[in-house]
A and B are shown apart, each in its own frame.
Chain A
Amino acid sequence: MSTIVPFGPQHPVLPEPLHLKLVLEDEIVKEALPTLGYVHRGLETLASIRDMDQMVQIVERVCGICSCIHAHTYCMCVEGMMGIEVPQRADFLRIIWSELHRMHSHMLWLGLLADALGMESLFMHVWRLRERVMDVAEATAGNRVIISVNKIGGVRRNMSPDQLRWIVQVVDELETELDKIKSVLTNDYTVKKRTVGKGVLTYQQAYELGAAGPQLRGSGVAQDMRMTGYSAYKYIDFAPVVEKDGDSWARTMVRFRELYQSIDIVRQLIAKIPDGEIAVKVKGKPSGEIVCRSEQPRGELMYYVKASGDKYLDRVRIRTPTFANVPPLLAMLPGCEMADVPVIALSIDPCISCTER
Chain B
Amino acid sequence: MAFETKNLTKNQLVGEVLALKNQGYRLVTMSCVDLGESFDLLYHFDRETQLVHLRLTLPKGEVAPSISGVYFAALLIENETRDHFGVIFDGLVLDFGGNFYLEEEVKKYPFCKVTVGKSETAGEGA
Contact = CB atoms under 8 A, between A and B. Distances in A.
A290 B1 contact: yes
Interface stretch (A32-40, A52-60, A265-273): A32-40
A340 interface: no
Contact of B111 (A37, A45, A326): A45
B26 A208 contact: yes
B96 to A, nearest CB: 9
A290 B28 contact: no
A315 interface: yes
Residue among A207, A291, A302, A314 facing the most chain B CB atoms (10 A cut-off): A291
Given A209-B73, A304-B42, A324-B73, A40 B102 contact: yes
Interface in B1-60: 1-3, 21, 26-29, 31-34, 42, 44, 48-49, 51, 53
A207 B102 CA distance: 30
B105 interface: no
Interface in A30-69: 33-34, 36-37, 40, 42, 44-45, 48
A197 interface: no
A89 B121 CA distance: 56
Interface of B: 1-3, 21, 26-29, 31-34, 42, 44, 48-49, 51, 53, 71-73, 75-76, 84, 94, 99-103, 110-111, 113
Given A208-B72, A209-B73, 19 more contacts: A34-B76, A36-B101, A42-B111, A48-B113, A76-B1, A77-B1, A80-B2, A207-B26, A208-B26, A210-B73, A223-B48, A225-B49, A290-B1, A291-B51, A302-B28, A306-B33, A317-B31, A319-B44, A327-B73
30 contacts: A37-B99, A37-B100, A37-B102, A37-B103, A40-B101, A42-B111, A45-B84, A77-B1, A81-B2, A208-B26, A209-B72, A210-B27, A210-B71, A225-B49, A228-B49, A289-B2, A291-B1, A293-B51, A302-B44, A304-B31, A304-B42, A315-B34, A317-B31, A317-B32, A319-B28, A323-B76, A324-B28, A324-B73, A327-B75, A331-B72
Contacts of B102: 37, 40
B76 A327 contact: yes
Contact of A33 (B2, B49, B53, B94): B94
Interface in A313-357: 314-315, 317, 319, 323-324, 326-327, 331, 356
A315 B31 contact: yes
A280 to B, nearest CB: 18
A292 B1 CA distance: 6
Contacts of A15: none
Contacts of B26: 207-208, 210
A42 B2 contact: no
Across the A-B interface, give the 7 residue pairs with the lowest CB-CB distance, nearest first: A319-B29, A40-B101, A37-B101, A317-B31, A327-B73, A210-B73, A304-B31
A317 B30 CA distance: 9
B79 to A, nearest CB: 9
Contacts of B1: 76-77, 80, 290-292
Contacts of A34: 76
